[in-house]
A and B are shown apart, each in its own frame.
Chain A
Amino acid sequence: MKIKRPSLKIKFIGGKQGEDAPLFITDGNQRIDLPADQTKPFAHEKALQILKVAPELYKAVQQKGKRRIYRSAATGEFVKSDFASANASTTVAETV
C-alpha cells in the first residue's frame, strides 16, 4: 500500500481592506518566503505551516480531480474524502 500525502494549494484570503499579501512570514527562527503574485491559489512546500501560522491570511483551496479514499483516523473505516477535508487535513491519506 502506497502512502501519499495530498498535495495542497493555498490561497491568500486577507486583504479585505485592500491590503496586499505578505511576501514572507517568520515562524520562530525560520523564514518562509511567499510568491510575489498571490492573486491565484498557489502550491507551497510549507503550506500546512503557513496555514497554521497565519490562518486568517490563508486558507486551503479545494483541489480539482479525483476524490481520495482514505482510512478515517476516527473510525478506522475507509471513506471517500471531500476535497476540502483532504486538503486541509494533516492526515496522511492512504490510497487503496
Chain B
Amino acid sequence: MNIQKLRKRFVAVSGIGKRQSAMGTALAVADITTRDNCTIEITNQRQRETVYDCAGQDIFDETVESQFKRATITYAIVNAQILARWLAYFLGAAAAPVTSGLKKKHALTRSTNDDLPKTGFVSGFEDDAVSEAQLYKDFIVDSLSIQLNRRKNITLTVVLIGNFTTADAVDFAVPACANLPALKGKDCKISINGVDYSADLWQLGIALNNNVPTGDDAFPFDGVNVQTLERGEKPTYQLTPQILGYRGDALFANAEAEAVQSVVVQLGADAADRVVLTTPSTKIKFAGTPTVFVGELNRTAINLDATPHKDSVLGTPIKADVYLDQTEAFLLSV
C-alpha cells in the first residue's frame, strides 16, 4: 500500500498569483513554484441522484448530478506576500505594480463583472516515488478569513472551489518550503475614522466571502462539472475588532451612534511588505455583547461589528493596496 504521512503533504501555488488563461486550462506546472507553510484539506462535493426500484424500497442506481472540489488552506503563519496573493484572487482585479518608495505598490480592487480569476495548485506528498502529485485547476477563492490577535501570529484560512477532476502533475518538481518569519499582531495597525487604535487592539477578525453559487447556476445544462464560478449576488465583508476601552471613549460613542466611518487595517509594518485593507464607508456597530473583559487583568474591550458599506468613490465596499518587492503584477495570465 502506498501509505503517506501528513508531514510530507505539500501544496504548491503560483507565488506571484498567476491566473489561468481560461476556464479549463490549468496553470502550467512551471508556474507553480511556491510552497507555503500551510495545511490543505480537499473535499469532494458530489451531488448524486438515488434511484429506487418500483417498490421504492431498494436502490438500483445512483447517478452523479454535479461535482466540484472544495479546498481549505490554513496558514498558522503568514506574511504580506501570501495575504496579498489570496486577496488578489479574492477581489479579482489588480493594477500592474508601480514604484512606491522602496516597494512596488499593487492596487487590488473588486472585479467589475463578478468574474473571479481562476487558478490552480499542485498537492501531493514529498518523496513519493509513485509521483502521485495532482494538478488542480479552475479554482476560485470563495472566502478569506484573517484572524489577528494581540501579540500573536496572524492566521489565514482560504476556501477555494474548483474543478472536480485533477491530472497527474507531470514533470512537477516539488519546491522547497519557505520558512517565514510570522507576521504578528504587533506588526499591524488599525485606524477607525482616522484615529489609530493599534496599541489598544486586542483582536480582529476579517471575514470576506464571495458567496460563490454552487447550485445549478454553476453547472452546464448537460454536464456534471462546474462551468461558471463567479462572485455571488451578495458578497459579504465583515470586520470584528475588539479594542480596549469603555463608555466615554469616542469609539464607544461611534458604535452607539452606528456611525459610518473609514476603517483602515494595515497588515505589516510601515516601510516593510504590507497589505493595507481599506473599507472607506463602514458602519461601526456593537457586537451582540458590546463590551467584554479580556486578558489576565480582565480589562474592558469594546466588541465591534463593523460592516463595510458601498463607498461612493470606490463603487465597492473594499479595496487593498499592497506594498511588496514583487515586480510582477498579480493575476497575470499564463
Contacts and interface: CB of A to CB of B under 8 A. Distances in A.
A26 B329 contact: yes
A56 B93 contact: no
Chain B interface main SS type? loop
B195 interface: no
A28 B329 contact: no
B67 interface: no
Contact of B107 (A17, A22, A29): A22
A19 B99 contact: yes
Given A27-B112, A29-B22, A22 B98 contact: yes
A52 interface: yes
B99 A22 contact: no
Contacts of A14: 98, 107
A54 B107 contact: yes
Chain A interface main SS type? loop
Nearest to A19: B98
Interface in A48-95: 49, 52-57
B329 A24 contact: yes
Given A52-B315, A55-B314, A56-B313, A28 B94 contact: no
B117 A29 contact: yes
Interface centre among B94, B95, B113, B114 (most CB of A within 10 A): B95
A17 B100 CA distance: 7
Given A22-B98, A23-B96, A54-B95, A28 B113 contact: yes
Nearest to B111: A28
Contacts of A19: 98-100, 105
B43 interface: no
Contacts of A26: 19, 93-95, 117, 329-333
A23 B98 CA distance: 9
B93 A28 contact: yes
A28 B96 contact: no
A95 to B, nearest CB: 28
B97 interface: yes
Nearest to A34: B96
A29 B99 contact: no
A54 B109 contact: yes
Contact of A31 (B97, B100, B110, B333): B333
A90 to B, nearest CB: 12
A15 B105 CA distance: 11
A3 B293 CA distance: 64
A54 B315 CA distance: 9
A57 B96 CA distance: 12
A27 B113 contact: yes
Interface centre among B22, B100, B114, B116 (most CB of A within 10 A): B100
B95 A25 contact: yes
Interface string B97-139: 1111100010101111111111000000000000000000000
Contacts of A53: 93, 109-112
Interface string B307-334: 0000001110001000000000111110
Interface in A1-45: 14-15, 17-31
A13 to B, nearest CB: 11
- In the A-B complex, the 3 residue pairs with the smallest Cβ-Cβ separation, listed nearest first, are A28-B115, A28-B111, A22-B96
Interface of A: 14-15, 17-31, 49, 52-57
Given A26-B332, A26-B333, 5 more contacts: A26-B93, A28-B92, A28-B116, A29-B115, A29-B118
11 contacts: A22-B329, A26-B95, A27-B113, A28-B92, A29-B19, A31-B333, A52-B112, A56-B107, A56-B313, A56-B319, A57-B107
